[in-house]
Structure formats: C-alpha cells, structure tokens
C-alpha cells in the first residue's frame, strides 16, 4: 500500500477517525495503531509481519535484560548479542545472495569451485529501517541515554508504526517512546503542517519524480549509447532531482501522517543541494541515517578523538558501510567510497588551511552538487559498465531526444525547491492555522486536485523501498 494511492487514503481516514475516537484510552489507541500498522505491512507480504514481531520481541527482551543488569561485562555481552541478532536478520535477508555470489566467484578464482547453497531470499520491505531502529534502541538502553520501554507494546509500535515503517525516517526510541507514554495532543498548527507536508510530498513524488523517472531518467539509464551528451547530462540532473523528490516526499508524507495522528518525527531532509561541502551534504540528506551512522558506527570506531588520520579512516569505513546499507552491490560500495573519499579530502584540506575558508560558498555548492551527481550515476546504474557508458556519453554530441522544455522545467523546479525559505512549510502552517476549517479544507482540497490532475495514472514504488 503506497502513500499516494486511493487505498492508502481510505486506510488513513479509517485510522485517523478510529484512533482519535480512542484518545482517552492511550493503551487501546496504541493497540489499534499497532494492528493497523501490521495490516499496512501485510499488504506487501503478510509473512513478514511475523519477522517484524520477532524482531520487536528480541529487541524488547534484550533491552529489558540490559536495563535490569548492573554488571558492566554482562551488559556489554547483552548489547553485543542484541546488535548481532539484528545484523544477522538484516544480513540474511539483504546480503545472503550477495555474499554467496562473491564467495562463489572467489572460490572459482582460486580453483576451489563449489556449489554453494544459493537461495532466492525475498527482501522484506523496510528491513534496513526497522533493524537499524532495533539496534539504536538496544544500544541507547545500554548507554543509558534512553529509558527502556514501559511495555512490549511500545517497542512493537516503535518498530512497526506504519508512517515510518517502510522507508524511514529512522526514528529512535528516545524520540517516539516518550510520545507513546501519554495520550497525544493534536494542535491546529501540527494538523495544518501535516496536511501541507502531505500535499507537498504528493506533488514531489507523483508529479516531479514520476515524470522525470518515466520520461527522462529510465530511458537514458537503460541505454546511454542511444543518447547524446545533453540528454545524458539532463538525465543525471534529472535523477538528482528525482531521488530527492522521491525520498524526501516519502519522509514529508510520513511526517505529515504522523502529525495528524498526534506524533512528531524528526526532520529527514534540509535542502541538501544547498550544501557547500560533502560533510554539510550529509547533515542535510537523509539526516536520520547520517546521524545514526555517526552515533552507532563512527563514534564507536573512535570518531575524531585520535587525530586526523584516524578520523579520516573512520569516515571512510562509515561511508563504505553506509553505501553497502543502501544495497548489496559493488556500485553502492563505490558510491559510499566516493562520498567518504571526498569527505576525507575536505578534512585534510581544512587541516592544511587551518580551518580558513578558501573556497567561496557558491563554488562550494556547485562543486559539491556535481560530485553528488557523479555519485548518483553509480547509485542508479546497475553495473560499473553502465555507469562508465553514462560518463562516456557526456562527451558525445547528439540531438535532443528526451530532454524537453517540460523536463527541464521539472529539473529547475526540483532544484529551485532548495532555495525556498528553509522552514517555508512551518511558516505557512503558522499563518494558516487561524483559518476557518472550511477555508483550509477548500484550500487543501484545491491543492490536492491540482496535483491529482497533473499526476500520471498509477504510481511507481518509492526508490528507498528496495533498501
């Protein structure tokens, strides 16, 4: 069940009215939201609801044992066990095929060819998100930065809550568990912001991302040799806009849906193409993942405490694993290596110039954006050959085939969003919250109608569902 569908709209209306009718009974409300979340998840594959429940029970149990234990050594073993179990679940479903294939290749090269047990493992949607959530919960309880949940119900709802279940943001226990502890409160401002984010997300996904994907990006990435430099450049810029509009749209709609149900999620995107350095880009892009990688990977590796070279190595390891998190393929690892390598160069540069600013902001923004676009070629191409064909095509002149004024307009709109006031939706919500319900209802309805009239029939799954 995708957000921008009629089925989800009907599902949400039912959840909204039923959950608020239970607002005086927080426990029952949470049970209802949990059942609704399982129903939502079962629309992809009902068998994986069991995996979700198993994962929740494991994380709740390990965290409860950690919280009840005062022995530091035992606590360490327990947290290691919790992290390991989560990684095993993720590793089996997401990386089993990848590692077996690599192992078979390696054995063939050294002359020990063997028939390895290849399995067609179906990837449960959103597994990367809910396992990372589980790891953060167990580690936070171990670090005593989060109190253990009051009940198994809270942990289950934390890991299954449908707005953020399949593609994030990766919401930590410290953000959501305190909100589960009491009956939520819905304010006019939160509701207005929620509606605005849903409309805005719908526009980004169904109009901008879908059009660019179907009519520009997919044809060019399918066969770059059939297109000239302008089409290939437009497809690369188009993909930069598409992936931003696709993923940030999901986050916006998730945050908006959460707000209408009375829960607030942290921001996941902050105009990332305005970044003037790669380090800044990762403070603006998929913030919940980058902060997760910082707190649970970079810092445990030693962070920046042991000097420049050690911190550079840690950044590189973090970004390589971050790349692998996105998908079980070497192109994703190369994408992570590019981002990590540029961040290392930036660190060395800052150290060499004593932290002085030597590159003007405009130049920094342009250079960073183009390095990010280069990374998107690796991210989008299924093989290195295809990525190389895209790069080669940038030097080949040819007539414009798929780049139309409309496509260019969408790219300009997608990039122009980054130069809107940074908190435009929040500011608009503050102004509109005083409007009568009829006025706001008609305004939001007209905005929905505008988007619905423009969108193509049908909707493609969100890009980040595969991760």
**What are the tokens at 403?**
């780049």
Q: Which is nearer to other proteins, 362 or 453 (CB)?
A: 453
> In angstroms, what is the minimal distance from the CB of 317 to other proteins?
45
Does 50 contact other proteins by CB under 8 A? no
Stretch that binds other proteins, among 61-69, 107-115, 294-302, 444-452 (CB under 8 A): 444-452
Does 397 contact other proteins by CB under 8 A? no
Does 261 contact other proteins by CB under 8 A? no
Does 187 contact other proteins by CB under 8 A? yes
**What are the tokens at 244?**
């931003």
> In angstroms, what is the minimal distance from the CB of 454 to other proteins?
5
Which residues belong to the active site?
326
Residues 289 and 245 sit within 8 Å (Cβ to Cβ):
no
Does 185 contact other proteins by CB under 8 A? yes
Length of the chain: 467
> In angstroms, what is the minimal distance from the CB of 6 to other proteins?
4
| Residues of this chain, 403-432, that bind other proteins according to CB under 8 A | 404-406, 409
| Angle formed at CA 467 by CA 227 and CA 451, multiple of 5 degrees | 65
Stretch that binds other proteins, among 9-17, 90-98, 133-141, 333-341 (CB under 8 A): 9-17
Does 362 contact other proteins by CB under 8 A? no
Does 72 contact other proteins by CB under 8 A? no
> In angstroms, what is the minimal distance from the CB of 27 to other proteins?
18
Q: Which residue has the tokens 């050690």?
A: 310
Does 461 contact other proteins by CB under 8 A? no
Does 32 contact other proteins by CB under 8 A? no
Does 174 contact other proteins by CB under 8 A? no
Q: Which member of 181, 412, 442, 461 binds other proteins (CB under 8 A)?
A: 442
| Angle formed at CA 347 by CA 343 and CA 350, multiple of 5 degrees | 135
Does 188 contact other proteins by CB under 8 A? yes
Q: Which member of 87, 121, 400, 420 binds other proteins (CB under 8 A)?
A: 400
Does 211 contact other proteins by CB under 8 A? yes
Sign of torsion over alpha carbons 97, 103, 106, 110? negative
> In angstroms, what is the minimal distance from the CB of 183 to other proteins?
9
Q: Which is nearer to other proteins, 331 or 403 (CB)?
A: 403
> How many residues belong to the site for other proteins (CB under 8 A)?
41
Does 39 contact other proteins by CB under 8 A? no
Q: Is the peptide bond before 345 cis (omega within 30 degrees of 0)?
A: no
Does 42 contact other proteins by CB under 8 A? no
Tell me the C-alpha distance between 382 and 405, whole Å: 28
**What are the tokens at 100?**
């077996």
Does 158 contact other proteins by CB under 8 A? no
Q: Which member of 6, 72, 110, 397 binds other proteins (CB under 8 A)?
A: 6
Does 218 contact other proteins by CB under 8 A? no
Q: Which residues bind other proteins (CB under 8 A)?
A: 5-7, 13, 16-17, 20, 23, 185-188, 191, 195, 211, 215, 260, 399-402, 404-406, 409, 437-438, 440-442, 444-446, 448-450, 452-454, 457-458
């Amino acid at each position: 069940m995708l957000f921008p569908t009629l089925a989800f709209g009907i599902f949400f209306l039912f959840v909204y009215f039923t959950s608020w009718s239970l607002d005086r009974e927080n426990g029952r409300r949470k049970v209802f939201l949990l059942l609704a979340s399982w129903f939502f998840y079962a629309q992809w594959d009902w068998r994986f609801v069991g995996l979700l429940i198993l994962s929740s029970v494991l994380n709740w149990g390990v965290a409860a044992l950690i919280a009840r234990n005062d022995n530091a050594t035992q606590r360490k073993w327990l947290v290691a066990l919790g992290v390991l179990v989560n990684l095993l679940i993720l590793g089996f479903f997401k990386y089993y095929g990848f590692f077996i294939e690599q192992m078979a290749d390696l054995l063939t090269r050294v002359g020990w060819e063997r028939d390895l047990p290849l399995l067609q493992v179906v990837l449960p949607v959103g597994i990367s998100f809910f396992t990372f959530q589980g790891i953060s919960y167990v580690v936070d309880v171990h670090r005593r930065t989060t109190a253990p949940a009051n009940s198994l119900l809270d942990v289950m709802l934390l890991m299954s809550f449908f707005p953020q279940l399949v593609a994030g943001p990766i919401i930590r226990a410290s953000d959501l568990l305190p909100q589960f502890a009491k009956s939520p409160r819905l304010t006019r401002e939160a509701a207005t912001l929620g509606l605005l984010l849903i409309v805005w997300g719908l526009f980004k996904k169904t109009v901008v991302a879908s059009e660019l994907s179907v009519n520009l990006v997919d044809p060019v990435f399918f066969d770059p040799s059939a297109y000239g430099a302008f089409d290939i450049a437009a497809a690369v810029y188009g993909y930069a806009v598409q992936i931003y509009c696709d993923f940030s749209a999901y986050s916006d709609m998730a945050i908006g849906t959460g707000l209408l149900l009375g829960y607030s999620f942290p921001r996941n995107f902050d105009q990332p193409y305005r970044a003037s350095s790669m380090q800044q880009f990762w403070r603006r892009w998929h913030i919940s993942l980058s902060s997760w990688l910082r707190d649970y990977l970079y810092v445990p590796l030693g962070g920046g405490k042991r000097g420049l070279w050690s911190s550079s190595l840690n950044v590189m390891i973090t970004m390589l694993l971050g790349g692998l998190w996105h998908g079980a393929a070497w192109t994703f690892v190369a994408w992570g290596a590019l981002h990590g390598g540029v961040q290392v160069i930036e660190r060395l540069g800052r150290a060499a110039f004593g932290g002085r600013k030597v590159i003007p902001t405009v130049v920094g923004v342009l250079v960073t954006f183009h390095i990010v676009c280069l990374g998107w070629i690796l991210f989008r191409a299924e093989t290195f050959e295809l990525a190389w064909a895209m790069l080669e095509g940038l030097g080949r002149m040819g007539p414009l085939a798929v780049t139309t004024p409309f496509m260019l307009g969408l790219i300009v709109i997608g990039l122009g969003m980054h130069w809107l006031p940074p908190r435009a939706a929040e500011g608009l919500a503050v102004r509109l919250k005083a409007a009568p319900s009829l006025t706001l209802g008609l305004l939001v309805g007209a905005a929905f109608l505008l988007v619905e009239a423009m969108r193509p029939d049908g909707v493609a799954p969100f890009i980040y569902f595969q991760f």
